[in-house]
Amino acid sequence: MTDVLLRIKDLNKSFGGVLATDNVTLDVEQGEIHALIGPNGAGKTTLISQISGILESDSGEIEFDGKPITRLKAPARSLMGIARSFQITSILKDFTCQENVALAVQAHFGHSFNIWKPVASETNIQNRAISVLDSIGMSEHCDTIAGELAHGEQRQLELAIALAMDPKLLVLDEPLAGMGRLDSAKIIEFLKGLKQKFTILVIEHDMDAVFTLADRISVMVYGRLIASGSPDDIRGDSLVRSAYLGKD
């Protein structure tokens, strides 16, 4: 039987009179790329904010790697192995790429080992940062100031920061947002290479990317999950087609 890494049961979150997530129940299996799709305002980002601990749920349960995490704060969930990227690029633009990744490595370790010693002199942290940047094809940008990178490269750097946490679950919120065709193709190929190495939950509006990458797809509309299944199942679901995908 396939192992379930993330299990969500009857999860709810409301903002005033708006029910952003409405009794959401979802399993994410070990080693899969699971895409979460739906129109703007469907509750997708709210759901992954609940998963990562940035938003506290009103009710429901979340279990990660066999352990209840519903009441844990975001830093504790991160240390357990949940790493999230954001819809809007969230990097330290005045720092170099290596410094951005090194800070994530340091956070994963939980300390800097020597409070009197600068992080730049911590060889193991810096080596890990360089290794992560190399794995994502950015080794030549180690000393580049992050704010000087092109938009697509900044999105790549954000992925490197998430990977530096050595996650069990990688949660990506629109990793292709704002990218041109060439940059999108590059990230799609990179994410393909992460299959089986990491479990990935991804929000994405690019349907070509979704159907290329995903092992399973779940569809949200008005805070509710209306379907979940293989790409072929979702393509053929009449309710999904009428609510989101359209006829073509």
* pLDDT band (50, 70, 90) for residue 115: very low
Query: What was the pLDDT predicted at 70?
Result: 96
Please report, for residues 6, 99, 115, the alpha-carbon distance to residue 69 in angstroms, rounded to integers and kept in the order given: 10, 30, 31
* Domain C-terminal end among 139, 166, 193: 166
Whether residue 33 sits in one domain with residue 15: yes
CB burial of 37-74 (b: ≥16 within 10 Å; e: otherwise) equals bbeeebbbbbbbbbbbbebebeebebbbbeeebbebee
Query: What was the pLDDT predicted at 180?
Result: 81
Stretch among 13-27, 47-61, 93-107 having the lowest mean pLDDT? 93-107
What is the rounded CA–CA span in Å between residue 142 and residue 97? 5
Instruction: Give me the residue label for tokens 């349907």.
Output: 207
Helix (H, G, I), strand (E, B) or coil at 39: coil
CB burial of 151-189 (b: ≥16 within 10 Å; e: otherwise) equals ebbbbbbbbbbbbbbebbbbbbbbbbbebeeebbebbbe
State the greatest distance between any 2 C-alpha atoms of the chain, in Å, as a whole number: 62
Query: What was the pLDDT predicted at 182?
Result: 84
Query: What was the pLDDT predicted at 179?
Result: 80
Paired with 48 in beta bridges are none
CATH assignment at residue 220: 3.40.50.300
* Domain C-terminal end among 148, 166, 184: 166
Whether residue 233 sits in one domain with residue 208: yes
Q: E strand or H helix at 172, and its extent? A: strand 169-173
Whether residue 143 sits in one domain with residue 125: yes
Domain enclosing residue 214, as ranges: 1-81+168-248
Stretch 51-80: mean pLDDT, rounded? 94
Query: What was the pLDDT predicted at 119?
Result: 52
* Domain C-terminal end among 166, 198, 230: 166
Whether residue 52 sits in one domain with residue 152: no
Whether residue 179 sits in one domain with residue 159: no
What is the rounded CA–CA span in Å between residue 248 and residue 245? 8
Q: How many CB atoms lie within 10 A of CB 121?
A: 10
Model's pTM, two decimal places? 0.87
Backbone angles phi, psi at 127, to 5 degrees: -65, -40
**Number of domain units in the chain:** 2
Whether residue 161 sits in one domain with residue 93: yes
Whether residue 151 sits in one domain with residue 104: yes
Whether residue 1 sits in one domain with residue 77: yes
The burial of 232, by beta-carbon neighbours within 10 Å (0-12 exposed, 13-18 middle, 19 or more buried), is given as exposed
Whether residue 190 sits in one domain with residue 126: no
Query: Phi/psi zone of residue 49: left (φ > 0), alpha (ψ -120 to 50 degrees), beta?
Result: alpha
Whether residue 118 sits in one domain with residue 54: no
Tens digits of per-residue pLDDT, 189-236?
888 888 878 899 999 988 999 999 999 999 999 999 999 999 999 988
Query: What was the pLDDT predicted at 89?
Result: 62
Whether residue 62 sits in one domain with residue 180: yes
* pLDDT band (50, 70, 90) for residue 143: very high
Higher pLDDT among residues 145 and 120, named by residue: 145
For the chain, how many residues are written? 248
What is the rounded CA–CA span in Å between residue 69 and residue 168? 14
Whether residue 206 sits in one domain with residue 98: no
